[in-house]
Chain A
Amino acid sequence: MAYLFPSPEWFEQLKNEINRSEAYASSAKTWEGDFYFIIKPWGTRQEPVKVYLDLWHGKCRDAHEVTGPETKKPEFVITGTLDTYRQIFTGKLDPIQALMTRKLELQGNLGKIMKAVKATLDLVKCCGQIETQYADQV
């Protein structure tokens, strides 16, 4: 079945994919760092969607949508439109290219991400594994 992006089910599925991925377990084995992924409002929606992702030594410890007040102070915040995320997940846009053209905005240490490019790619592959229906196309 297709999971709706963004939705709590999709993020749960992402956690499963990451924790199933041998490639990610290997390439991100030394990674320590958590994220907010922010999806800008689309359509008639007013509020962005904020997702918390905690990645630790090749595993995903937590992935959930943040709905209440701020509780975390993640190391990285990545912001983009729904369309940009879709293009990245479907392999049409290289994530590094997306950062460099500012289609994805990054707050946090770019150098640390650039040293984990292989892990980044494997993470994007996990996203691509999920059969997805995008919220702006429902």
Chain B
Amino acid sequence: MWFFNSPEVVYGETALDYLEQLSGRRAFIVTDPHLHELGFTERIAERLRRAGLEVAVFPEVEPEPSLETVRRGAAAIRACEPDWIVGLGGGSALDAAKAMWVLYERPDVDPASINPLERYGLGARARLITIPTTAGTGAEVTWAVVLTDAAEGRKMALGSRETLATLAIVDPALTADLPPRLTADTGMDALTHAIEGYTSNLHNDFCDGLCLKAAQLVFTYLPRAVADGHDAEAREKMANAATIAGLGFGNAMAALAHALGHSFGAVFHQPHGRAVGLYLPYTIEFIANGGISRYADLAHFLRLPHTDEAGAAAALAAAVRGLARQIGQPLSVAMLGISEADHEAALERLCDFAEMDTQVVMAPRVPDRDELAQLYRYAFRGQSVDF
């Protein structure tokens, strides 16, 4: 038994206009201060008003949103009593909106305890709309909620199948002005979701096609979206790729590159997509060296030259590195300007965090502690994994 969960997805050019067809009394937009200042909130609000809704805004979500922010936002939502909550932004704003929704519906719930085993009965007071402004996290269609306990500096992976948006609006126009660096980082996240969703232990028939297609779209369109942000076709395809990959991995789990990347991001404060994308080729090599993998399928679909599973993994790792090089992403940790001494000093902590990450056991080959440390060292030096 397993599940496939998805919001209704409205996508493509002018998808935002769908907001004008909503019915309801009040909408509450959750976003970050930067997007608010850039006028993104108004683009959403004007459409909601046209639908006859009153609009309130909480433009205070910080990167790596805290429990405190979620509680504050939920209090503002309770004062407003909306029937629609709209998460607008990157993964942080969307995840914060999901958690605020839970607290609005269930004030008795501790946000730090939102988990897949509980039943919350969401939807009685409001429904959730997610509108991504980057093309990468897939948070618009996943139920995962990542929050930070600011007091402890600890990231918490939360969520329940109920913390899934009712409606996701994926309009490429919102990503047109995304800077190249952010386009590249988030695009690598989407690629990592696609490849890990396809190869994780929980891969399944419902997700496979989504992951394959998303990977193909990223390889084809990410270089164009990075080179020219106003390449409308590339932006649209990348927006689709990120959401499709979100559905793919969100219903199958991410794996080892995410475990390594989460830990690395927490220790060295690197953007999520840059971190997971950096580790992706190393984990492909490591998993393939264990002899059980599904890289030949991926290589076949992506038309990468290969004769066997090992060759397919090598071709795929090379293609990922080729893409990273083309869009100016780091190929090794050393290229991020981190010294070997600092990296060595942090190695124990990197391994501790990675071992505690749920995704670490989702790969078909699970590294032991020595192998984890070796993976970090190889990725530091930029050396292909030979063990």
Q: Which chain B residues border A135 with CB–CB below 8 Å?
A: none
A118 pairs with B361, CB closer than 8 A: yes
Report how many residues on chain B are interfacial, defined by Cβ distance under 8 Å.
20
Q: Which chain B residues border A96 with CB–CB below 8 Å?
A: 358, 361
Q: State whether the Cβ of A4 lies closer than 8 Å to any Cβ in chain B.
A: no
Q: Which chain B residues border A26 with CB–CB below 8 Å?
A: 368-369
With A99-B117, A101-B2, A110-B115 as contacts: A121 and B366 at CB distance below 8 Å: yes
Selected from A102, A103, A106, A114, the residue in CB contact (under 8 A) with B358 is A114
B-facing residues in A63-96 (Cβ within 8 Å): 94, 96
B368 pairs with A23, CB closer than 8 A: yes
| Minimum CB–CB distance for B109 against chain A, Å | 14
| Minimum CB–CB distance for A26 against chain B, Å | 6
A118 pairs with B117, CB closer than 8 A: no
A94 pairs with B202, CB closer than 8 A: yes
Q: State whether the Cβ of A45 lies closer than 8 Å to any Cβ in chain B.
A: no
A103 pairs with B1, CB closer than 8 A: yes
Q: State whether the Cβ of B157 lies closer than 8 Å to any Cβ in chain A.
A: yes
Selected from B2, B113, B117, B157, the residue in CB contact (under 8 A) with A97 is B2
| Minimum CB–CB distance for A64 against chain B, Å | 27
| Minimum CB–CB distance for A83 against chain B, Å | 12
A-facing residues in B113-149 (Cβ within 8 Å): 113, 115-117
Q: How large is the interface on A (under 10, 10 to 19, 20 to 34, 35 or more residues)?
A: 20 to 34
Encode B332-370 as 1/0 by CB contact (under 8 A) with A: 000000000000000000000001111011000010110
Report Cα–Cα, A23/B366, bound state, in Å.
11
Report Cα–Cα, A4/B150, bound state, in Å.
49
Report Cα–Cα, A100/B119, bound state, in Å.
12
Selected from B3, B117, B358, the residue in CB contact (under 8 A) with A117 is B358
| Minimum CB–CB distance for A121 against chain B, Å | 5
Q: State whether the Cβ of A27 lies closer than 8 Å to any Cβ in chain B.
A: yes
Q: State whether the Cβ of B69 lies closer than 8 Å to any Cβ in chain A.
A: no
Q: Which chain A residues border B157 with CB–CB below 8 Å?
A: 114
With A94-B201, A101-B2 as contacts: A110 and B117 at CB distance below 8 Å: yes
Report Cα–Cα, A69/B8, bound state, in Å.
52
Report Cα–Cα, A118/B365, bound state, in Å.
12
Q: Which chain A residues border B115 with CB–CB below 8 Å?
A: 110-111
A101 pairs with B1, CB closer than 8 A: yes
Q: Which chain B residues border A110 with CB–CB below 8 Å?
A: 115-117
> Which chain A residue has the least Cβ–Cβ distance from B115?
A110
Selected from A23, A102, A115, A121, the residue in CB contact (under 8 A) with B356 is A115
Report Cα–Cα, A102/B113, bound state, in Å.
18
B366 pairs with A118, CB closer than 8 A: yes
Q: Chain A interface (Cβ within 8 Å of chain B)?
A: 23, 26-27, 94, 96-97, 99-103, 106, 110-111, 114-118, 120-121
List 16 A-B pairs, Cβ < 8 Å: A94-B201, A96-B361, A100-B116, A102-B117, A110-B115, A110-B117, A111-B115, A114-B157, A115-B356, A116-B356, A117-B356, A117-B357, A118-B356, A118-B360, A120-B361, A121-B366
Q: Chain B interface (Cβ within 8 Å of chain A)?
A: 1-3, 113, 115-117, 156-157, 201-202, 355-358, 360-361, 366, 368-369
List the 4 closest pairs (A to B, CB-CB), nearest first: A115-B356, A117-B361, A101-B1, A121-B361
